[in-house]
Amino acid sequence: MEEKVLQVTNLTKHYKRKNAVDGISFSLNKGEIVALTGPNGAGKTTTIKCILGLLRKNEGEIFINGTDNKSKDVKYKLAYIPETPDIYPMLTVWEHLKFMALVYKINNWTVVAEKILSKFDIADKKDELAKNLSKGMKQKLSICCALIHNPEIFFVDEPFIGLDPKAVRELKDAFKALKEEGKTILISTHMLDAAENLCDRIIVVKKGRVLAEGSIEDLRHKIKVSQETSLEDIFLEVTEDEK
């Protein structure tokens, strides 16, 4: 049976009178890569920030491995990789990992850091200042920093924007490598062509609600389109039909 690592039930969040998230429910299984997509303003970032505990929800439940997300212990299981990598221009790659290891009080961090850098193929950039890295390398560094405390679930915001095809491919390979280790990844994205052959499932949201979810095959079946229909066309069909 699939092991649920995240369960979100009837999540509601409003900013003053604006309902940004309006009763969203979904779950993530261990080792899945899931795309969270939807038009601008659909509530994706708000949902992720509520899960991470960065925003206070109004209603609903969020459980990480069966424990309420308000518990301090579960926060260590989560990692957030923002759209613009949170890096320090004047620190080297290695200093970034050292900094994160100190924050999380990781013992024997150098062994862990060496492994991470070689896994993500940036060991040769160890002594490079972050400001000199390409956008793709900065994304990878951001992931490496997130990995140092060995989290279980990754929330990644628009990772593919501004990357060239090679960097997109490398980043997708990095996500697949995490999946192979049993990590779970939720990617919030509009770049459906990149998500199409990477994600096990897609969750489409609009106006703070889930409109459709499932594997790309499930979605094609649900909206009765051919098995060749692209994720982009499925997205347009699902979001256009909603009244």
Ligand X SMILES: Nc1ncnc2c1ncn2[C@@H]1O[C@H](COP(=O)(O)OP(=O)(O)OP(=O)(O)O)[C@@H](O)[C@H]1O
- The residues of the shown chain that bind ligand X, judged by CB under 6 A, are 15, 18, 20, 38, 40-46
Residue closer to ligand X by CB (options 50, 141) is: 50
The nearest distance, CB 47 to ligand X, in angstroms, is 7
Residue closer to ligand X by CB (options 15, 88) is: 15
Tokens (6 digits) for 138? 């900065």
Enumerate the β-bridge partners of residue 155. 80, 186
Residue closer to ligand X by CB (options 39, 214) is: 39
What letters, b where the CB count within 10 A reaches 16 and e where it falls short, cover 211-240?
Answer: bbbeebeebbeeeeeeeeeebeebbebbbe
The nearest distance, CB 93 to ligand X, in angstroms, is 28
- 234 neighbors 216 (Cβ within 8 angstroms): yes
What is the rounded distance in angstroms from the CA atom of residue 61 to the CA atom of residue 80? 20
Helix, strand or coil for residue 172?
helix
Tokens (6 digits) for 172? 């997708």
The candidate with the shortest Cα–Cα distance to 203, out of 194, 213, 193, 217, is: 213
Residue closer to ligand X by CB (options 44, 179) is: 44
The nearest distance, CB 36 to ligand X, in angstroms, is 8
The nearest distance, CB 155 to ligand X, in angstroms, is 12
What is the rounded distance in angstroms from the CA atom of residue 185 to the CA atom of residue 124? 26
The nearest distance, CB 22 to ligand X, in angstroms, is 10
Residue with tokens 């989560």: 78
Residue closer to ligand X by CB (options 4, 209) is: 209
The nearest distance, CB 209 to ligand X, in angstroms, is 12
Tokens (6 digits) for 110? 């150098």
The candidate with the shortest Cα–Cα distance to 174, out of 131, 135, 136, is: 136
Total residues found in the chain within this entry: 243
Residue closer to ligand X by CB (options 69, 189) is: 189
